[in-house]
Amino acid sequence: MLANYLIGLREGLEAALVVSILVAYLVRIGRRDLLPALWSGVAVAVTVSLAFGALLTWGPSRLTFEAQEAIGGTLSIVAVGLITWMIFWMGKMARHLKADLHHKLDDAVAAGRTAVVTMALLAVGREGLETALFLWAGAQATGRTTAPLLGAALGLLTAIGAGWLMYRGAIRIDLRRFFAWTGVFLVVVAGGVLAYGVHDLQEAGLLPGLGALAFDVSATVPPTSWYGVLLKGIFNFSPATTWLEAIVWVAYVVPTMTLFVRMAFAAPPARQPAPAAVPVVAPVSPA
């Protein structure tokens, strides 16, 4: 539940931040008449994301077990790819997001109302589809309970509230640091989802090694114990892990974490001092 709460919070805060920046900019440039178009695009994006989540949840239910595992494993791997791209993109763009959105909105305003709807749809829809896919993959990995959905809903509600407070100027968040630390957490979570996706493909018979265990600590960490449930819910930890799952987890987490930490926690480039003014000496006229 905690993992899904943080995923909902991070993804929801990205979407809320985008919307608040767009709304504030339209108000600032005196184009309140385009606010309905902006909110229409946001509403369509939310509807499409919810429909995508429902399709993922109930779509494969009538398929065979092997087909469900094959689809679940494939989508889990796709989700990890998307979330990894999002982590690096946001870690790099956090400090430039506002200027980038202003530039794109200027172009949309110049093009007309439909362009504003489309821009809002694409900006928020991308976050919504990524969130739906990753939350679904996380829920599949942690079990078919309502806890992942509840955690994600609480995270999204928190993000909406934080976005409104930021828009009103009531709170300030160091976005660079926020996205850096949540990115570190999500790399570990994504590693667990990736390992679970590999396990699904093993159960579907598409990958070998289902019976070759790297370790089995079920006696020490019972899956039904409170700490076993906690580790499963947050990090997708499986007490009985195959060699292929373990290899994939290490091969993903170690290089991804190293690259992300180097990028996200690097000191921002120092501003170059302005060049000193060179005094202009008036020419001396000959006597």
DSSP string covering the chain, please?
-HHHHHHHHHHHHHHHHHHHHHHHHHHHTT-GGGHHHHHHHHHHHHHHHHHHHHHHHHGGGGS-HHHHHHHHHHHHHHHHHHHHHHHHHHHHHGGGHHHHHHHHHHHHHHH-HHHHHHHHHHHHHHHHHHHHHHHHHHHHHH-SSSHHHHHHHHHHHHHHHHHHHHHHTS----HHHHHHHHHHHHHHHHHHHHHHHHHHHHHTTSSS-TT-EEEE-TTTS-TTSHHHHHHHHHH---SEEEHHHHHHHHHHHHHHHHHHHHHHTSPPPPPPPPPPPPPPPPPPPP-
**Confidence class for position 154, pLDDT limits 50, 70, 90:** confident
Residue 274 has pLDDT above 60, yes or no: no
Residue 110 has pLDDT above 80, yes or no: yes
Q: Averaged over 196-202, what is the pLDDT?
A: 90
Per-residue pLDDT reduced to its tens digit, 125-139: 877 777 777 777 766
Q: Averaged over 52-57, what is the pLDDT?
A: 77
pLDDT given at position 186: 84
Q: Which two tokens stand for residue 277?
A: 């003014």
**Confidence class for position 281, pLDDT limits 50, 70, 90:** low
Mean pLDDT of the chain: 79
- CA dist 236 and 141 (Å) reads 6
Nearest alpha-carbon partner for 29 in 110, 97, 121, 93: 110
- CA dist 247 and 36 (Å) reads 50
**Confidence class for position 284, pLDDT limits 50, 70, 90:** low
The total number of residues written for the chain in this structure:
287
Q: What percent of the chain is predicted at pLDDT more than 70?
A: 82
**Confidence class for position 251, pLDDT limits 50, 70, 90:** very high
pLDDT given at position 285: 53
Residue 3 has pLDDT above 70, yes or no: no
**CA atoms in the 13 A half-sphere facing the CB of 147:** 15
Amino acid making up residue 256:
T
Lowest mean per-residue pLDDT among 53-67, 147-161, 267-281? 267-281
pLDDT given at position 170: 58
Dihedral sign, CA of 229, 148, 67, 236? negative
Residue 147 has pLDDT above 70, yes or no: no
pLDDT given at position 268: 60
**Confidence class for position 245, pLDDT limits 50, 70, 90:** very high
Q: Averaged over 163-181, what is the pLDDT?
A: 74
- CA dist 233 and 224 (Å) reads 12
